[in-house]
Structure 1
Amino acid sequence: MTKVLADHLSVTRDGHVATVEFNRPPNNHVSVELVRGLADLLEELDRDNGVRAVVLCSAGKPFCAGADLVSADGIGGSGMSGIAPLYDQAVRLFSIETPIVAAVQGAAVGAGLGLALVADFRVAAPEARFTANFVKLGFHPGFGLTHTLPRVIGQQRADLMFLTGRRIKAEEGLAWGLVDEVAPLESLRERAQELAAEIAENAPLAVVATRKTLRGKLAQAVRAQTNHEHEQQAILRATEDFAEGVRAVQERRPGRFLGR
């Protein structure tokens, strides 16, 4: 049975696995309201002893195109004032105790990549693309990515993604450890649910305790890193290069940056 919630969210239960879907067409951009709603829902599932694993997925072609820094009605339209609250909600996501498997069907960009990294595991379709394209906007990475991405794929490969803004395909992500399994698009969600069920069949107290040990003080580390990221983003937002990066994205061309 699927329960449709406010803030573009729905949840489906199958045994001990809950599948949480977000849907903000056309690009599934994150917003403070979406991430707050997602955190509220995951915290509710944390308190449900019948839920032992969660599948996180989205509707539509992209998994999540990140934060909309370009449109007037996006996060970028309110300057930096919308970004700090977004990061407050992101820290809540990293505090969730129930294991999470992300099903990534398409582009996971910027904060969308950050959202995919909230999960313990990522099952991706061949069509999936992962990118931390902040420098192409003249901006600094955020959503805790400067901590979470190196933690998953290593510092050197994370540096490559951050400094080039390169798109990483699912198969390359599999070789790097960014993706745990590649599954055909038509069976992607089913395979993610199977992985979640494999986790959920184990003793739940032992799973949660082991996961806490493995993750350590991840939420606290994300909090410290988002504070630093926000400071750097505030500085770079005032530059001519950021304004050019926004224009370049709107005009679908490479930026002509001047370093000021």
Structure 2
Amino acid sequence: MNFDNLQLLEQRIRSKEHFISLMQQSSAQVTTSFVNPFSVKVLAEKPDLIRQIDHFYVDGGLYVKLFNLFGAGDKINRCSFDFSSVACDFFSYCQNHQIKIALIGAKPEEITVAVANIQQKYSQLNIAYVRHGYFADAGQREQCFAEINASGASALICGMGTPQQEQLIVAAREACPQVRFFSTCGGFFTQTSLDIEYWHPLMNRLGLRWLQRAVQHSHVRNRILRDYPLFIWHYLKYALKQRRNKDNAS
């Protein structure tokens, strides 16, 4: 992991309250994304992409604990784009203020069911544009941007996995000037296609969402067993380096 790039990313990390305030008050274009021990490793190799995302939020309890123990910034709390966190705030706000939104991500059959489930929960939500997250070429992506412009959407939520989702919202900011708020959402659409109440109440209350996902999805199990221990090791090395640099500077 590139520690310099990790520091660059962590300088942009904010807490849940910041996301909620930002989505309600943003008048200029803003890009936001969410990171966990897997995605932060991917982004740490892409400093140019990090610089084009205005704010990051931490959607996993492990990273939150490490950041609060060793990070140089203010203490944060978990912030995830799902119905256990800020997705409820986002959709409620958009529905109450009749904000047109565009949703991109997941497989074709997943996004169709996910949108139906979302609209069942938020019957007055103005979903102006929907598309799955698979693009055969640049032409299809440009066509997507043209359709978003035609839809009049002013907020875009994208769930395509890292770094594809971050790359798409960065490109969309340039191509869709009327969209003000851009955010990634990871696996939210896939989860929501399975069940609008995806999180089991007990798992949610005990903070064991990671365990539920590990049981349900093999790729999550692989990440927890392979990537998360490596992340802890690399993050502790990063924190030690940061502390040494601070001691030397003083």
Q: TM-score range by the shorter chain?
A: under 0.3
- Larger RCO of the pair (alpha carbons < 8 Å, separation 6+): 2
- When normalised by structure 2's length, the TM-score is 0.28
- When normalised by structure 1's length, the TM-score is 0.27
Structure whose residues are more often helix by fraction: 2
